[in-house]
Amino acid sequence: MGTQSSTVSRQTEATLADAAKPPAGRTMVRAAPGMYRRAWRRFRRDHVAIASLVVILCIIAFALAAPLVSNLTGFSYSENHLSEKLSNPGENGYILGSDGNGRDILTRLAYGGRVTLLVATFATLAELSLGLGFGLISGYYGRWIDTVIMRAVDVLLSIPSLPLLILVATLYSPGVILFAVIIGAIYWPADARLLRGEVLSLRGREYIEAARVVGVPSRSIILRHLLPNVTPILLVQASLTVPSVILTEAALSFLGLGVQVPTPSWGNMLQEAQRFYRQQWENVFIPGLMIYISALCLYLVGIGLRDALDPRLGD
């Protein structure tokens, strides 16, 4: 699977292609393209995944341009206009309407997108670092370390995560970063189990044993031989984790336990709006739709990536 390069990342596609060049002396018409390049070729042909990627980039741009959006609408995200609360879209100069405190929905949507995407990114990073760390250690060292980690994973996986998350979120009433860390700390066990399995299957391969025989220290084996080989799985897992984290953030904020108002997130916009859904359903519909579209497109990209990277499918 792939090339044994020490620094595998998306920027080094060129180096990878170089590394895959046939040794001198054998005649070949063209160098075999590297694994990531082949994956990219497959991904490019996947119209659904590409379209989803474009939508996601638009959403990210929208969130990044939040100050511009604020300029355009003329409202700040925390500005209350109580006399104009629950305006319909287009009414009183609110392009997408106003919420229960008379705040502009469009502006809050842009700023809320920042918070939601930030939480999703950090939580994914936290979750995967924990999962990767424990998975690599557990799978590589085996023995009692493996037993301890895997029993802990068993325990954590048998507690439904949402009740656990509700409990922890209530105890800590978190801000953006802590909230992301908490999500990561609760969801890592599944990733650890997945990566451990992968490491177990890699550990028996000849090149790992060869490295061990010639005396390469464990740390280098893990970092230079195992890590590059679990990277594709990690990439796929990351792209599928982001949308699930977005949905989790939405669920928790919806219950009033996530990022606290007046800082907007799509989830807590949903929570505020659902109190008034009988008078004005658009306020519920709009942030929910943003969550839905982001999660959907991210999933589609993740699935496209999985199909592109899955070595079993071949070319």
Shortest distance in whole angstroms from residue 135 CB to other proteins: 18
Stretch that binds other proteins, among 25-33, 200-208, 210-218, 277-285 (CB under 8 A): 277-285
Q: For residues 49 and 303, is the Cβ–Cβ distance under 8 A?
A: yes
Per CB under 8 A, contacts with other proteins among 25-54 are 48
Is 277 near other proteins (CB under 8 A)? Answer: yes
Selected binder of other proteins within 156, 194, 222, 261 (CB under 8 A): 156
How far is CA 48 from each of CA 10, 117, 234, rounded to the nearest angstrom? 21, 22, 22
Residue 31 or 155 with smaller CB distance to other proteins: 155
Shortest distance in whole angstroms from residue 168 CB to other proteins: 6
Selected binder of other proteins within 168, 176, 195, 230 (CB under 8 A): 168
Is 254 near other proteins (CB under 8 A)? Answer: yes
Q: Tell me, residue by residue from 125 to 154, as one string, x for binding to other proteins by CB under 8 A and - for no binding.
A: --------------------------xx-x
> How many chain residues interact with other proteins (CB under 8 A)?
42
Selected binder of other proteins within 72, 147, 281, 313 (CB under 8 A): 281
Is 275 near other proteins (CB under 8 A)? Answer: no
Selected binder of other proteins within 40, 141, 276, 292 (CB under 8 A): 292
Is 166 near other proteins (CB under 8 A)? Answer: yes
Selected binder of other proteins within 284, 305, 308, 309 (CB under 8 A): 284
**For residue 98, what are the β-bridge partners?**
104
Is 214 near other proteins (CB under 8 A)? Answer: no
Residue ranges binding other proteins (CB under 8 A): 48, 151-152, 154-164, 166-168, 170-172, 243, 247, 250-251, 254-255, 257, 270, 274, 277-278, 281, 284-285, 288, 291-292, 295-296, 299-300, 303
